[in-house]
Structure formats: structure tokens, C-alpha cells
Structure 1
């Protein structure tokens, strides 16, 4: 659920920085990396008879805390090298798979600690909580470090249970393979649903056959994992920075394990009390409207693409009634593939296309005039990319969705969410929330028990919190910032205009705000917001 592209700022130098960030974050968003162990030297003066020995750097000694144990060792495995991890201190946290089962099996979570750039680092590190669910935090290290998060503090990355560098992994590449094949199928057809659910069941059967307790892969256990890590590392107090689904986990951690939390940044906010199809539809409406409004306010865009919102709605209805089939060669491939675009596919494409907002009006206009190739290439490219294969922990995805979301949202409520957000859409489109297609039948075959109802409680307390959103975010709507701040009196709500989901990945301004927040949680520096400009939309012929 985290895909990132570039912001718009005044200075050309900023645009060059953003282009580099765009390339890096496109990789990080799906969890890519590789590194070797390079222990960082201890900071401070050499011990003498007259001075006490300095504390060893966090992560350089084995420690045990209750049933959890941290052991220094090689850095977590990664698909590709990650420059940010050179010099990282690494190791493994061993925790119970299911804390409710005394004496049960244990699992291992990869840990990488990137040292602060400063020679005089602050004592409270920042912990990066990855998106997804199912992405590996270690795979997002480059994004965090490129954004300057380690300027004054160590940054800790731990693979959430089941993810790429954990043991066991709950990846299930068969689902990724089906998603790649599905670009040639009608998106929301009953026949596609049957195949999708069959792939989900095959994934479940394969994992259960390995003896994995699927009910133990959820926010409650993951929040306990991070609290165990803090204790095992001997850290008195730290900070959290969560992106996308990582905000869901951060808010859960604030509620269940507030001790030791100095401050929390949440970016692309997904509150557990709201999560589900209704919120997904609402987020899509907000993100789409933000983009359409920006075009309408730009004279050249408005003149060339008037009534963009109405035109998009019309295309969804027309494609759902009569899907378009074309053949395209996806980016990075030399093999043509068949692509079918129906109404549901267009809605889901649009949800991600807010990351390339300047192209959207022209792409929709091309589609309306019989040229679907641009949208088809982008739609297929995301599903056929090597970065989409074998890197997402589907076992964790369904553990969260099926244990924490669907038990507390009825099918009627989910449908009503689509009807309220997009009343003109066909019912078949309204029935499948973007990003959550076929979720309920998938969860029926995943068959894990519901989490306690308290998992849906709002997070309350006085922990300083930075609530960051993007004005174009169609995945986690910007209204989630004020929503969580209602019960977090020390929260600072910031919406970065013209930005898509996860503003830290695309906006230098957002990075500056985040870093300044950890300097002074009571007064993050938001002056850069006044210099932001809307995107310059592509104007086709």
C-alpha cells in the first residue's frame, strides 16, 4: 500500500534530490536490500583510569529480556544491496511466536541499527515501522536515511514477524504470481474471485503445513515484539516513525506499550479504529478530489480537461459495462502482455496513480479517446515488476486484515462505504473497495480468529505525536490526521499539499518537518509548507 513519487518545490536542486528519492523509494516501498555486518565503533573518549567505561553502542552485545533475546550477528538478508546499511550494527531478536502458548515455538526477527550521522548522537533512537502490512522495515532503510532521519539519532529497523528477513517468512509468491496473471482477466468478475480465493487458500495451506500459527501474526504480537526489542537492547526511551500500515502498528503500540515512547511520527495514517473498506473508499474519494481540484485550479489543465471528476466517473461506468482489452509491453520488460481494463481496475489504478499526479488528466483523456495503453502499461507494470514478486508477507497481510478488520465491519457496511463515496459507480465496483478486492471471501478461507474487540479502540494519551498526511493521498485519507488528534492532545496535524501516500518518501519539506519534530516534538518546523506549489499537469494534444 506504499508507492511513492516526487513532490513539487521551487528549487531545481530540490527536484534533482526528489528524482533520486523517487528511484530509491520505488525500490524500498516493496522491501529490497542486502548488506553485510559492519560493526560501528563506540562513540566517546577511550576509557582511562580516571573515567568510567562508556556504554557499548546499542546492538553490540547480547541481551535477554523475559522470553525475548537479542543476539548481535549478520545483517538481515535482502534482495539487493542497500547502501544505507553499510556500517549498520545488526543481529536477531528471538521472541515467542504466540505469547499465549507457554513453551511454544520461537521466531527470529532481523534487526539493523544505522548509526547517527552526528558525532554526538541523542540517546533516544528512532524506530522505523514499515508499511504494508507485509513489507520488511529493513527494506525501507534507504528511504529513511536519505530523508535524514539519522541526522542526530540511531535509526532501528526490525523485520516485522513473517516478513522478508524474518524466520519463518510468510511470503506466498503464488499470490504474487496470480496477481501478475490477473492483469489479463476482468478485475472484479466472479471467475476472477474464485481464482483469487483459490490462490489465497493455497497460500494458507502451505503455511499451515509448515506448522506456522497463523493466528499469531497480528498487531498485538508485533507491538509486543517491538517492546521486547527496546527492553532487550537496553534502551530506556525511543521514538517511533511509522508509514502507511506502520501507523496502524504505531497507534496500537502507543495504546498497548506506551512506556518508553518519547514521541511518535505517523505518516499516511491508518487508524485501527477506522481501518477497513469504508475508510478505503473515503480515502480514495479524498485523494481523487484533491487531484481533480488541483487540475481545475490550473487554467491550462482546466481548459484542456474540464469536469475531470465527472469524466472519471463516466469512464468507470463505461469500462465496467464493456471492459477494454489491449496489449502492452510493461516497463522493464520486452514481453507483450494482454491487459483488461474494467471499472474496478481503473479505480485501483487511480488509487496508485496519485503518485504520478501530473500524468493523470492526460492518461484519462487518452483512455476516453480510445488509447488505453498508458494506463494499461502502468497497471500491468506494478503487478509484473520483479519487486512485486516474493517480497510481501501475505501471511501477515491476512493476519491483520482477517483478524482485525473484517470481523468488525459487515459486508453491508463495506458496500455502503462505496455507495456513499462514489454513488454513481456500478454496484459491482462499489462492492470491492480499492486495495481490498475480494477481502471477505479471502478471509473466509484464511480462517483465523477475530482479535479482541479492543483492537479497534481509539488511541488515547499524551505522547507527542506528529500526524502527517498528503493532500493527494488516495490510500489513507488526510482526514485521518484530525481524527487521531481528537484523542491525542499533544498531536501536531500537518497535511502536505499536492503529495500522495507517505509524504516522507516524496517531499523534502515533509522530511524537514519530521526531523524537526524529533528535535522538538512540541514545535515541529513547518515553514517549508508555504513554499510548496501545485504540480504542473501534463497537457496532451
Structure 2
């Protein structure tokens, strides 16, 4: 870190630079963290213009060994891993970062970098109060669809008045931030670990700065050549089809839930006519909620995402008995972490998300084909139907990404790709598609897991850590990834609910 004021040759305005800042994080005894602000141009072709300031946390290795650090690239777009979810909290403790990176930090630093335009960065493009206080949550829950459009319109106009160039808040710009971080730290090589949208960010780093990356681990792969909005109903349906097949192949699940498909579909359809009424116990007190068909589907998909697909048959069977305890448990988890159940309408006030997804995804959607697929998909199209992209992208007004950015990333960087069978956000097919263009890669699918398998399966964490240590894709796996959903354990959990 001696080079934290490192200046590249050329214009001083163009050079990325690091400034130390006081850490708000409290590492465990024996651990250390260093905090910086990375300062880079908003527009690298206009280096004397606005500066962007990005928070950086360096979780220090246990011993100094000179090993290349691992840089974590967060998801979203718009995730803010260095910003706590509530005032006074410790973001690194909330994310369990010290335990999660303990093996990596035996000999190499772990670096967490804010996304430009998101929490932890200046400017921050968010259009609404964060969900961190009771008044803010109450205000957000009361926003109507008409008010949402007005908020986005005012927010977008405000960014124009401040002369913030949303064309500079893109995946390529984020990729260049990583290269600038390396330059400011005098790092010639680094490892990258991306999750969800962070995998697209990582792939763009590999495309634009191929000599910088020693090894890459991509968890929940979202390559630039796929479109997250185009085929969502089909992706959701396939995830449920896999669940139905797995249940039919499991003796206990087959016996207990012989008509699982019908049970799931009829439960969602029934909720469309008569929403399920729950009272969620949340940090800001008990909150009543009505789950209609789309919101019930959201909870079931949340279970898949969190690696809890095996509990869906028991949850749906319990709903039929008017036992809503399992449903309530996962609805509370979804609302506490992501929201979406208590608001009057689906919302997206994250300006960076809008800037990237409207530019890189929605602009390329075949809207007629999308509508046709939603109509043909029955209950499996309900979440896609609630997407706000058709409403907020015209308001947000960003130019479409050039076609070249949507081309596959071709690289020789050693790359480990990880997927979960029940990940409907970044399905395994996307990992296979990305791997086809990566000459030195391995794609591992975790049979019973969902989105972000490193935090769901100890084997995935072992694979990541071993690959960063020795990035050899052909090495034999040290543990099994093909364990199917455990319906027996799920039944026991359901039976032993208080």
C-alpha cells in the first residue's frame, strides 16, 4: 500500500489516486482492515471534468506473502457491500466478510470496491431514501405507481441539472475502475471474484484488461450475450420443471406430493383470486401483507434462490391446509433482505441499476416476443409481468449499449464458473454459454443450490478458495457438487416447526 498516492505518467487529472480514510469497520481481534477512497474521472476522455469517488476496503492477509490479492465485484447492478443496511451497523460484519474470506486471507488481501453510482460512491445515483430507517420504509411502502414515475422523472432531471453523465455509469466504465484501482495500488496482477451482475463486471475486466487478471471465479454467471429480461418466464418454468422432476425421482417426496405441479400452480392461481393474508414480524414491527399470485411466486422463487427448493413441496402442501408458517418464514426473509412484498407496486429506484439495465438489457429486448411468452407461460410468467423496465426505462433515458458490448467475452484467463440448478436469476445455461468462449475454464453446477452458491454450499467455497490458490481448471474436484435436493431433511424441518 506504500503507493496509495501513485500517479501515472500524463495528466495529473487523468491519474487514478487513492486517499486513505478512517475505517468505520471493526475487524475481529487479530484481523486488520485498511480503507481508502479511489478517485477516478467520471469520463476518462474528459479527465479534467467530474471526479468519481469510490470506497475501497482492504481486508488484510494474516501474513505478508506478496500473493496477488482477490478483488470482490458485487452484484445488482447497484449492490453496496461497504454500506450497512441500518445506521450504526458494520457492513463487513453484516456480510460475514471476515469468516467468509478467512481461507483466502491466509496469504492474500481481499479488496472490496464500490460500484460507481451506487452506495459507497460519490455521486450516488439512487432516487429514494435507502431502506434503513422506519420512516423511509413507511414512505417507500406508500408509493403508488404514478408517484414512482414522478420520482424517477424528477430524479433523472436532477441528474441532468447536476450534469452527471449517465453514459459513464456502465459495465465498461466499472471494468476500467478495477484497472485504475490496480494502477493506484501498483498491482500488476490480481484475482477477481464476481457474484451475479459482478460476473458480468468481471468478464468485462477480462475483456478490456486481459493481462491484469491472474484468475477469475464467477458465481451466478451473467454474460453479456444473454438478456435477463427476454426469456424470464421460460427460465422460471424450467426451474420449477426441475423441481417437479426431482420430487418425482425421490421416494419420500413422490409419496408425499404426487401432484406437486398441480399443487404449485393451483396455489398461485388461488392466490390470484384470494390473496393469502400474513402478518410479517420485521425489524420495524409487525406488518400485514396480502400475497397475491405474483407475490406468492416471488416467495417461492426466493426459496429457490436461497438454496431452499427442497422445502417448496412442504410449503405448498401446508398452504393447502391453511398452515402458513413456512410461507411466513420465507416471506419475512424476502421482505427483510430485498423488500417487494409490502410496497403498493414493484419499484426500482436504484439509479445505477436503471442506467446499466436499461442500456445493456432492456434496449435489446424483443418486446413482442417477450409479451407473447408471458401470455403463454401462465403462472410462470407472473414475475416477468410485474417488471418495471417497460415503465422506467423510457423515463430514465439512456442510450442503448453498442452491439460490440453484447458479444461474448473470449479470454484465456483461468476461470472457474459456478452455478446452482435452481438459480432462476442466472441459470446454469448462462454459465455454460459463457464457458464456451473461455479457453481455460471449468463450469461446476451445484445440484441442489440456487443463486450465489459460494455462500450456500461449503463445497463451492472450497472450490473458490482452491482455485484462487492454484487456478488449474482440470484439477479433480475436492468435494461433490452433484448432491440433489434433500427432501427428507426438508420434511423433518417442516415437521419440527414451532
Shorter-chain TM-score above 0.5: yes
- Per-residue deviation, 1:431: 5.0
Q: Distance in 1 between matches of 2:202 and 2:332?
A: 32
- Per-residue deviation, 1:272: 1.6
State the TM-score, normalizing by the size of structure 2: 0.83
Q: Distance in 1 between matches of 2:203 and 2:328?
A: 37
Q: Deviations over 1:218-248 (max 9, x none)?
A: 1111111111111121111111110011001
Give matches, 1:353-432, under 5 Å: 353-354=303-304, 355=306, 356-372=308-324, 374-376=326-328, 378-379=330-331, 381-384=333-336, 394-418=350-374, 423-425=377-379, 429=382, 431-432=384-385
Q: Deviations over 1:462-487 (max 9, x none)?
A: 11111111122122111112111111
> Of residues 30, 37, 57 in structure 2, which corresponds to 1:92?
37
Q: Which residue of 1 aligns with 2:279?
A: 328
Contact residue 295 and residue 537 of structure 1 kept, 8 A: no
2:15 paired with 1:68: yes
Name whichever of 149-158 and 411-420 sits farther off: 411-420
Contact residue 234 and residue 380 of structure 2 kept, 8 A: no
- Per-residue deviation, 1:313: 2.2
Contact residue 183 and residue 340 of structure 1 kept, 8 A: no
Contact residue 60 and residue 89 of structure 1 kept, 8 A: no
Q: Distance in 2 between matches of 1:178 and 1:402?
A: 30
Change (3 A) 1:408 1:76: farther
Q: Deviations over 1:365-397 (max 9, x none)?
A: 2333444564356335533569999xx981111
Q: Distance in 2 between matches of 1:524 and 1:203?
A: 50
Give matches, 1:171-250, under 5 Å: 171-174=126-129, 193-250=145-202
Name whichever of 369-378 and 110-119 sits farther off: 369-378
2:402 paired with 1:452: yes
Change (3 A) 1:475 1:518: same
Q: Deviations over 1:406-431 (max 9, x none)?
A: 111122233345457xx33387x275
Contact residue 327 and residue 338 of structure 1 kept, 8 A: yes
User: SS where residue 450 of structure 1 aligns?
Assistant: coil
Change (3 A) 1:410 1:195: farther
2:110 paired with 1:159: no
Contact residue 220 and residue 451 of structure 2 kept, 8 A: yes
Q: Deviations over 1:56-100 (max 9, x none)?
A: xx366311236133224125657xx56599512221111111224
Name whichever of 253-262 and 242-251 sits farther off: 253-262
Contact residue 402 and residue 450 of structure 1 kept, 8 A: yes
Contact residue 149 and residue 155 of structure 1 kept, 8 A: yes
Q: Distance in 2 between matches of 1:85 and 1:255?
A: 38
Q: Which residue of 2 aligns with 1:274?
A: 226
- Per-residue deviation, 1:438: 1.5
Contact residue 298 and residue 383 of structure 2 kept, 8 A: no
Change (3 A) 1:228 1:385: closer
Q: Which residue of 1 aligns with 2:345?
A: none
**RCO (CA 8 Å, sep 6+): is it higher in 1 or 2?**
1
Change (3 A) 1:445 1:530: closer
Q: Which residue of 1 aligns with 2:87?
A: none
Change (3 A) 1:424 1:219: same
User: SS where residue 17 of structure 2 aligns?
Assistant: strand
2:254 paired with 1:302: yes
Contact residue 118 and residue 352 of structure 2 kept, 8 A: yes
- Per-residue deviation, 1:493: 0.8
Q: CA RMSD in A?
A: 3.3
Contact residue 126 and residue 239 of structure 1 kept, 8 A: yes
Q: Deviations over 1:307-346 (max 9, x none)?
A: 32332223333333x14152403244533x2312222212
Contact residue 418 and residue 430 of structure 1 kept, 8 A: no
Change (3 A) 1:449 1:484: same
Q: Deviations over 1:241-297 (max 9, x none)?
A: 100110011112212222211121100111121032135444433433344433333
User: SS where residue 299 of structure 2 aligns?
Assistant: helix
> Of residues 490, 497, 511 in structure 1, which corresponds to 2:447?
497
Change (3 A) 1:347 1:325: closer
2:123 paired with 1:168: yes
Aligned residues: 466
Contact residue 354 and residue 393 of structure 2 kept, 8 A: yes
| Structure 2 unmatched ranges of 5 or more | 83-90, 343-347
Q: Distance in 2 between matches of 1:281 and 1:60?
A: 50
Q: Which residue of 1 aligns with 2:390?
A: 440
Q: Which residue of 1 aligns with 2:417?
A: 467
Q: Deviations over 1:2-48 (max 9, x none)?
A: xxxxxxxxxxxxxxxxxxxxxxxxxxxxxxxxxxxxxxxxxxxxxxx
Contact residue 237 and residue 380 of structure 2 kept, 8 A: no
2:65 paired with 1:120: yes
Q: Which residue of 2 aligns with 1:142?
A: 96
Change (3 A) 1:254 1:378: same
Contact residue 454 and residue 461 of structure 2 kept, 8 A: yes
Q: Distance in 1 between matches of 2:349 and 2:70?
A: 24
